[in-house]
Amino acid sequence: MVSPEMSNWYVVGAWTTGIIVFIGVWIYAIASWGFLIGIALGWFPAAIAGVIAGLLWPLIVLGVVALILFLASH
């Protein structure tokens, strides 16, 4: 069983990652589809990407750390 402290960290990381990805994907939708369509419809793919990224946030953090280490070694 997962301790309460561990589940709290998971929830904090999930919300933080989900919100960051949501905002990034929504901005990308606005840039790709134009202002009006991006604002009106861009929230839907942004919400899907935010939920998926929020659930998989430990893998995303590992990927970012690996990318930083790779770039630092070259």
pLDDT mean over 54-64: 94
Q: How many CA atoms does the CB half-sphere of 34 hold within 13 Å?
A: 2
What's the whole-model pTM score? 0.82
Q: For position 6, what pLDDT does the model report?
A: 63
pLDDT mean over 16-33: 96
Q: What does the domain layout of the chain look like in residue ranges?
A: 4-73
Confidence class of residue 61 from pLDDT cuts 50, 70 and 90? Answer: very high
Give the length of the chain: 74
What does the alpha-carbon distance between residue 64 and residue 4 come to, in Å, rounded to a whole number? 26
- Measure Cα distances from 45 to 8, 28, 64 in Å: 27, 10, 22
What is the percentage of the chain residues whose pLDDT exceeds 90? 84
